[in-house]
Amino acid sequence: MNAVELDGLLIKMQRGDNCAFEELYMATRRGVYAFLHTYFQNTADTEDAVQSVYLRIKINISSYRHGSNARAWMLQIAKNHALDVLKKARREIPSEEIEIVAEPIVGETTILELMKKLLSEEEQRIVTLHVLWKYRHREIAEMLDIPTGTVTSKYKRAIEKLRTALA
């Protein structure tokens, strides 16, 4: 399918033509699959991603600009989706791989007990999300619905409390 035809289908979709969506899917699914397979390297995840990408295309069709590169627009959606999925997968550590240190570090006190004694629940949450799960402060702020600066300052104060207790 050439660029003009692809552009035309996306414009029809903007007008609510579901047949155009079906035609777009049939004409481009192999290319989108091949593109996504370079990210996922397996059939199951790639097939799931293809379905999600076409759903995103349909949801975001209003952002497509007539006359722009339709193929590039679609593949950018595919790329963003693949990167989102892979980023999330890197954060999801199977529970059997998580080892929380329960060895005494200060007399008979573990780091978790020390955190519970010294830190508020919010500080504990911030430290755990940042240290154990490797979330950035901006991401933690979004999750907890607080300003990024607040997350940063609470994290620094919490770490300082722990350092002081360990010294």
Q: Say how far apart CA 27 and CA 13 lie, in whole Å.
A: 14
Task: Note the pLDDT of residue 98.
Answer: 45
Mutual angle of helices 18-40 and 70-91, in 10-degree steps? 50
Domain check: are 81 and 117 in the same one? Answer: no
Domain check: are 31 and 105 in the same one? Answer: no
Q: Say how far apart CA 36 and CA 106 lie, in whole Å.
A: 50
Q: Residue 79, class by beta-carbon neighbours within 10 Å (0-12 exposed, 13-18 middle, 19+ buried)?
A: middle
Last residue of a domain, one of 58, 91, 124: 91
The identity of residue 156, as a single letter, is K
pTM of the entire predicted model? 0.56
Domain check: are 71 and 144 in the same one? Answer: no
Report the CATH number that the domain containing residue 160 is assigned in CATH.
1.10.10.10
Q: Token pair for residue 66? A: 């007539």
Give the tens place of pLDDT for each residue, 17-43. Answer: 999 999 999 999 988 888 888 888 888
Q: Is 109 left (phi over 0), alpha (psi -120 to 50) or beta?
A: beta
Domain check: are 71 and 142 in the same one? Answer: no
DSSP 105: S
Choose among 161, 155, 156: nearest CA to 117. Answer: 161
Last residue of a domain, one of 35, 62, 91: 91
> Which residues, at least 6 apart from 146, have a Cβ–Cβ distance to it below 8 Å?
none
Domain check: are 21 and 56 in the same one? Answer: yes
Give the tens place of pLDDT for each residue, 93-151. Answer: 554 444 444 455 555 567 777 888 898 878 988 887 788 767 789 888 887 788 999 99
Domain check: are 86 and 101 in the same one? Answer: no
Domain check: are 87 and 136 in the same one? Answer: no
Residue whose tokens read 């907890």:
144
Domain check: are 8 and 72 in the same one? Answer: yes
Q: Residue 41, class by beta-carbon neighbours within 10 Å (0-12 exposed, 13-18 middle, 19+ buried)?
A: exposed
Task: Please count the structural domains in the chain.
Answer: 2
